[in-house]
Structure 1
């Protein structure tokens, strides 16, 4: 110990880096080996986190825990099955039709850019869109079919994993029913102060985040779908669902609105403008009027760290990694800040006692 204390800090960090790297590599190997199982556990845990909120509401009104769990679980299950029977086939059909029409839409967008370029030349505007038109057409034409094919493959693969879906549903019910006892049993193995902090941070960062984010995403998807249908946007249902799903992730709503606007503008420029205005109005209304009350500022993360956590989550865990990246990063930050504050204040308390 004395020898380690005498080492310069840069030497200690240099010795610690290989150990951190090897441990991280080992965790990645284990994660990849148990990837399917971890996906089922994570998906079930997220669903249980979200459904625990209405269960708690029913318990506050005097409903026993088990009947409340059964009622919320059955309502959710029948709702998802109903949506899968009605909405999913329509969305998949529209996705296939969109994949077939994308080349035509892209060519229409290129034609509109050429017309704008001709207008700029006729009026001596300092605008040159020739290179942009060619590059945009080539890039989008080469990637549009690939993206649509990957989306179709992902949807078919998700529906095809029937065993994983069944395991997720069953595990969600048991976590919702007995999950509190499970978490309490795991936390008993930890030191009391750490267990107390983890219990608070888990509820604050995961439970509240997912309840708020799912509510906001649902409102975004429903409002966007209705707005697009009223505007008679082609594939309005598909585009509304895309915005709703993307809104589960920070910055996903803005990205999906931009994507939908560009696609619609390729087919009809002025309809694309209307889509952008309506989508921005809905988004600002929900994010400024509803989202702060549901989400608040509890994540406490700098936007840069939010982006980094999203990139790491997508790289390590795919879609589920994107969903848990921000609350996990916020959980780590809030826990470490609280423990560090406690450790910094403890010497002051001791000295004041003396």
Structure 2
């Protein structure tokens, strides 16, 4: 495995640990004859086994309809290629008095280019996700690393603190606690919003008569984990497939509901659940996504923002520590 793959595995293991942490903390409240460490190990094993079991059940439940939808999607791509010119001609007939012929020709040409580019881009994204499954060793090591992060986090923290000068250890522990809070809140919040987005989008598409509602619902939920850019990337094919299958009115309804879902998740739920350290400026988020994609590919899009949020907390604590250390010296001069 390359260094990049190892870093990705560690970050995904940390994300899995934060995902399971609330469940494990809840299970630990159940009385047991084991000691504190034994209870932690047992509850971690139970939580991991339960998560794996739930994932297996979900896969078994959705694999058949999902497979059927993928076959439908192949057929729909052919229909799309045939219907796009007709849809554009219909649009042209309705609004030709508002747009010049030269502009219509340009739009027609660009629509073909953009449509091909979007389909090719989504195909490459899907290919990248599928090919990432070849790292079978990662699928084994990620839960193992997450297990140790969950059961030995205290010893790992204390061991790393020994590398820090004694006078800076209090600041170091405070920094780790704040990082822990930021990561915990961010991952839990984004997963909740992604799940809600996926379910709401799938239900909306189903009611709109879209045949591949499950596939695009899952895609909407997954891409919602990529802040700012993800919903746009997911929204384009969702609106396109709705337009082709159910018409303009259904497409506008789906677009309106999709925008409402994003507004509720991004402007109402997230600010209430995210701690201050996880709130980043949109420009910082976009730059983080670009760097994450360049360094780690598709997975980098998902891990960039929480990593930058944690680093921001570290920088703030470092600046506060340096400022506190410098204050007495400044006062003595």
The 5-angstrom pairing of residues 16-55 of structure 1 reads 33-55=2-24
For the Cα contact (< 8 Å) 2:18–2:184, is it kept in 1? yes
Q: In the aligned structure 2, how far is the partner of 1:152 from the partner of 1:249?
A: 15
Cα gap change, 1:222/1:324 in structure 2, threshold over 3 Å: closer, same or farther? same
Partner residue in 2 for 1:104: 79
Partner residue in 2 for 1:183: 157
SS class of match (2:277): coil
Deviation at 1:290, TM superposition (A): 2.5
Partner residue in 2 for 1:259: 237
Partner residue in 2 for 1:322: 301
Deviation at 1:45, TM superposition (A): 1.9
Cα gap change, 1:135/1:319 in structure 2, threshold over 3 Å: closer, same or farther? closer
Q: Structure 1 residue 304 and structure 2 residue 283: aligned?
A: yes
Deviation at 1:131, TM superposition (A): 1.5
Partner residue in 2 for 1:218: 195
Cα deviation per residue 1:44-97 (whole Å; 9 max; x = unaligned)?
Answer: 221012211222233356573233212221221111122233324543542343
Partner residue in 2 for 1:5: none
For the Cα contact (< 8 Å) 2:219–2:234, is it kept in 1? yes
Cα deviation per residue 1:151-173 (whole Å; 9 max; x = unaligned)?
Answer: 55345434444333122233333
Which structure has more relative contact order (CA 8 Å, sep 6+)? It is 2
Cα gap change, 1:166/1:342 in structure 2, threshold over 3 Å: closer, same or farther? closer
Partner residue in 1 for 2:107: 132
The 5-angstrom pairing of residues 240-319 of structure 1 reads 240-251=217-228, 252-267=230-245, 268-319=247-298
Give structure 1 stretches of 5+ with no counterpart.
1-31
The 5-angstrom pairing of residues 107-256 of structure 1 reads 107-121=82-96, 124-127=97-100, 128-141=103-116, 144=119, 146-147=120-121, 149-191=123-165, 192-251=169-228, 252-256=230-234
Counting matched residue pairs gives 320
CA RMSD in angstroms comes to 2.8
Give structure 2 stretches of 5+ with no counterpart.
33-38
User: TM-score if structure 2 supplies the norm length?
Assistant: 0.84
User: TM-score if structure 1 supplies the norm length?
Assistant: 0.79
